[in-house]
Amino acid sequence: MNVIGKMGKRNTQKAKKNMKENVDDSASNKEFKILIRRIVQKTKIAEGELAIYDILRCIYRNQPISTKKIGQYTKLPLPIVSKVRTMLEGDKVLKRDDRGAIYTKEGLTFVEKNLGLSLKNDLKCPLCKGKTIVFDEKFEKIYKRHKEIAKQRPAVNTLIDQSFATPETATYRATIMADRGDLEGKRVLFVGDDDLTSIPVAMSGLCKEVVVADIDERLLDMIKYFSKQNKLHIKTVKQDFRNSLPKNLTDKFDVVFTDPPYTLEGVKLFMNRGIEALGSEGVLYLAVSHKPIDEHIQLQKNILSMNFLIAEMLPGFNFYEGTEIIGNTTFLARLVGKNLVKLEEKSDKIYTGQVKPVLRYYKCQKCGKIYEVGGKIKRIEDLSCDCKGNKFYMIKRSKLRD
């Protein structure tokens, strides 16, 4: 037909416009996928493309936002978040602001078109911020007292994966345990307690018994001192968890709390000690760093093989002082077990430095001298510069070869 009516012309023009938009959308989507894949390859991020989407969504909802806050939100290590952010800035998706990461005008359009983002704010409860509990007057007083006590903790020993949870986190742990009915009239064992969570738990006055087992005598002495000073009656036991619990701690407890080493073998070993303490059934609180998907799946398989039900899992519940490598945060799981089974312990290498030995290189902020940590100097805490400077920043890391 040679003649196209007015309606036909409009339809033809509309069809051409739609075709052009589809071509543009297709090109944009292809460009977006190439960008995401390149970032994954360059950063070697174990969580893959989904992690990049999480970072983009986090910034979209919270801009401007600092790298540290992005790490806490996405549960990703800060060095990874920093690399991703730098690459996105290089591609003009993001720009730097004094207050943190923010989208460029083009970047905003880019992610809205390709990820369908439109929700401009988070929907978490502004009071509990995802923790599901808040302090009442009693636990607010416990928190204020515990803040003063925690100031007197010794230096962390990173060789045994120590990292101190904030006093607020320790008190929130006690609060959620109380709310879930896991303190009143209960016997509670801490399989390790460098966070001093036993103190606010005992301060609640709800437990029948509170016992702390730990390998670090400095922490045990501190807990004993404050227990006596505040009439908390916390019992302490020195214990290397690579060995089974003594008989007087076996099958004696209703609830166990543990914040184990970062490795899967370390988590399994500490949970095995928890099972010894509980016997055939009981509740175990587990604080663990957010892991790559493959490791997290294996962790969940281990938990289920032990006959624990994952009754609750709260991401970003625990906050720590100076643990940027894990984004300063870990999740808290409440596990309920019946007919509990220990798993085979395949290695006594349970700490990160044993399982994944690395060399780190730190530069003195005062004079610029570079030091290697992980060889003769084992810990950053042991590092001191010839110029008397005491502030360092890591410039690179490499695997330690046998």
16-115 maps to which CATH number? 1.10.10.10
Q: Rounded to two decimals, what is the model's pTM?
A: 0.81
User: Rounded to whole angstroms, how far apart are CA atoms 191 and 239?
Assistant: 9
User: Rounded to whole angstroms, how far apart are CA atoms 221 and 240?
Assistant: 16
pLDDT value, residue 128: 92
pLDDT value, residue 355: 60
- Look at phi and psi of residue 161 and say left if phi exceeds 0, alpha if psi is from -120 to 50, else beta: left
> Which candidate, 117, 262, 43, places its Cα nearest to that of 51?
43
pLDDT value, residue 363: 81
pLDDT value, residue 387: 87
User: Rounded to whole angstroms, how far apart are CA atoms 364 and 383?
Assistant: 10
User: Rounded to whole angstroms, how far apart are CA atoms 291 and 299?
Assistant: 9
User: Rounded to whole angstroms, how far apart are CA atoms 275 and 322?
Assistant: 31
Q: Is the peptide bond before 64 cis (omega within 30 degrees of 0)?
A: yes
User: Rounded to whole angstroms, how far apart are CA atoms 207 and 74?
Assistant: 35
Contact of 160 with 351, CB cutoff 8 Å: yes
User: Rounded to whole angstroms, how far apart are CA atoms 234 and 223?
Assistant: 8
pLDDT value, residue 275: 98
Domain positions in the chain? 16-115, 137-338, 357-399
Per-residue pLDDT of the chain (402 residues; tens, 9 = 90+): 343 344 455 554 554 444 444 445 667 788 999 999 999 999 888 888 999 999 999 999 999 999 988 988 888 888 889 999 999 999 999 998 889 999 999 999 999 999 999 999 888 898 998 899 999 999 999 999 999 999 998 877 666 665 789 999 999 999 999 999 999 999 999 999 999 999 999 999 999 999 999 999 999 999 999 999 999 999 999 999 999 999 999 999 999 999 998 889 999 999 999 999 999 999 999 999 888 888 899 999 999 999 999 999 999 899 988 654 545 789 999 999 999 999 999 877 766 665 666 667 778 878 888 877 776 666 666 778 888 887 776 666 666 555
137-338 maps to which CATH number? 3.40.50.150
